[in-house]
Chains A and B, each alone.
Chain A
Amino acid sequence: MAERNTISVKRAHGAVVEGEALISSEGFSPRYDLDRWSGEISRPGHALEGVNIRDKVLFFPSAKGGIAAGWAFYDIKAKGFAPKALVFGVTNPVMVQGAIFAGIAITEGWDIEPSEVVNNGDWVRVDPQNRTITVVRSSLVSAANQQTTQAE
């Protein structure tokens, strides 16, 4: 059976964007978790602590509280380290309002766990109009091919 390379999402807004996938096992708030002067996830103990979100397609299972996210996305976009897209399992209105205001693609809901389709470092395309996220280029292509060869 051909491996799936597409995730369908429930809701989406924004332009078609591509970028490197970064999957978090933990939820996200640009206020609680992010250093907004560097773009690094700064909260000690966060699953992505120390990782920079610039130009990434970010996968988060959930959004965390915090109204200030609305201005924060606009701020980090102006500072040049906004992510390309925010892909949430479950989001909240603040994330949506903030992302739309800042012009960052955002989606909610997925029909399969992203980690079953996407690996960190994969190049993915987010298509809000068609509500799909597609792996364009896998970071594990060579490794996967080797495994397939061995299996055969």
Chain B
Amino acid sequence: MLRGERGAAVREALQLQIAIGEFWGARRFVSVSNVHMMGDIEVLGDAGKGFLERVAASAAKAVCSTSTNARCIDFNFTERLRQDAAAVAKETQVIRALRDMDITTVDTCINYQTVYQPHFGEHVAWGDTGTVIYANSVLGARSNFEAGPAALAAALTGRTAEYGFHLDVHRKGTLRVDLDFVPLDLADWGAIGKVVGAANQHYLAVPVFTGVDCHPTADELKHLGASLASYGSMGMFHIVGVTPEARTLDEAFGGNRPTSVLKLTRSDIEQVYAGYDGGDRPLNLVVFSAPQLSIYELKSLAGLFRGKRVKPGAQVFVTTSRGVKSHACQQGYLQTLEEAGVLTLEGVCFYILQNLPQMREQNGWHNIVTNSAKLANIIGAHKFNAILRRTADCVDIATGAV
């Protein structure tokens, strides 16, 4: 590949991977069986789009199954969201370039719930931090955070440098978190992720949770992981008795001594909620997104909204994948949400929506209420004031019940 038999784009991809591997002191490459990459016009910009199109034009192809992350345009609602026509056209071109490279444009950040579930020990190269922490922690697969250019390189070469979470040594626990309560809502799991992540920002910090006296669902683990990754830049966690590399506390730590032991109580989580304040501005935007909702989250949300209406002047958004939205339509959840006045977007994530700053101004949005701790963290770059609330509280705010 370095000699260019597979073209300049593949040679450059491998050169990039070698430079990245050298930085981290990797000794070799590992084969990857699946790649998940981020590439939409909002994150790419014109420069990144131009790069993708050059690679596609060179006839370079993905050599392993490759999926795409959530993007910034929902083609069904571009007019309603007043998304820029030029950006919509560019997004179409981006998708075409990706498909030309044999990349499957599923546009979801919950690929691990809907598209591909790597087995224990399988090496993959995934983008979107929430997907990586889920793969490592819950599935026992192995991936580092692979940013767009790095994931594309892995798709073209079928390999990635062996560093970080591909190595046993970095998969062991480094700090301990004892819970003395049972989290009751997705937002509680996210709040735990915030407390632990914000206090221990380090890619190779691996929290080990003990005292989890329940059987967390995939969606709960998804919110915990997405939050840890967002606030702490973390790529792995263990829950003793739950996740596959933590059958016991000793196995989770693998000989490491915890650098710290944190005790989390319900009052710590209540303090997280108390830390958010809407001031005297209206609570007129409620968003369920980041990560996209699973079919069971949509079911639960439809149950909470059934028979109610979004209060006048407020808007409520849900984001999910195209596949999940289709299922939700079959099951009637989508119609229930629509009857309540909730707009369900597909193939996107709220915080990367093209035109979001303009949307904020046009709609007079200041506060954003959400049950996603991750969203509450990252929406700040768009100058929103985020307010994290439990799912049912979000629905009450949206329908004017409080």
Contact = CB atoms under 8 A, between A and B. Distances in A.
B203 A90 contact: yes
B147 A62 contact: no
A68 B127 CA distance: 9
A22 B309 CA distance: 50
B201 A64 contact: yes
B38 A67 contact: yes
B45 A79 contact: yes
A74 B378 CA distance: 20
Interface in B179-238: 201-203, 229-235
Contacts of A65: 129, 229-234
B254 interface: no
Contact of B128 (A67, A71, A92, A106): A67
B140 interface: no
B24 A75 contact: no
Interface in B138-156: 144-151
A151 B16 CA distance: 52
Contacts of A94: 129, 145, 147
A93 B127 CA distance: 11
A66 B164 contact: no
Interface in A43-98: 43-45, 62-72, 74-75, 77-79, 90-94, 96-98
Interface string A28-40: 0001111110000
Given A65-B230, A68-B352, A93 B45 contact: no
Contact of A93 (B46, B51, B164): B164
A39 to B, nearest CB: 13
- Chain A interface mostly: mixed
B76 to A, nearest CB: 23
B47 A78 contact: yes
A100 interface: yes
A27 B201 CA distance: 9
Given A36-B45, A65-B129, A100-B19, A92 B25 contact: no
Interface residues of B, number: 46
B46 A68 contact: no
A95 to B, nearest CB: 8
Contact of A68 (B20, B147, B235): B147
A71 B38 contact: yes
Contacts of B127: 67, 70
B147 A98 contact: yes
A72 B43 contact: yes
A78 B45 contact: yes
Given A71-B38, A74-B51, A43 B145 contact: no
A6 interface: no
B377 interface: yes
A26 B398 CA distance: 34
B233 A97 contact: no
Interface string B11-35: 0000010011011110000000000
A38 B69 CA distance: 26
Given A36-B45, A96-B24, A70 B381 contact: no
A146 B232 CA distance: 43
B48 interface: yes
A100 B19 CA distance: 7
A71 B23 contact: no
Contacts of B39: 71
Most chain A CB within 10 A, of B16, B44, B230, B233, is at: B233
B378 A32 contact: yes
Contacts of A69: 147
A33 B48 CA distance: 20
B47 A93 contact: no
A85 B231 CA distance: 24
A44 B379 CA distance: 11
A106 B232 CA distance: 20
B282 interface: no
B150 A93 contact: yes
Given A31-B378, A45-B380, A64-B231, 10 more contacts: A11-B24, A13-B22, A32-B377, A67-B148, A70-B38, A75-B48, A79-B45, A93-B145, A93-B203, A97-B147
6 contacts: A65-B232, A70-B147, A71-B45, A72-B43, A90-B202, A97-B150
Interface of A: 11-13, 27, 31-36, 42-45, 62-72, 74-75, 77-79, 90-94, 96-98, 100-101, 106
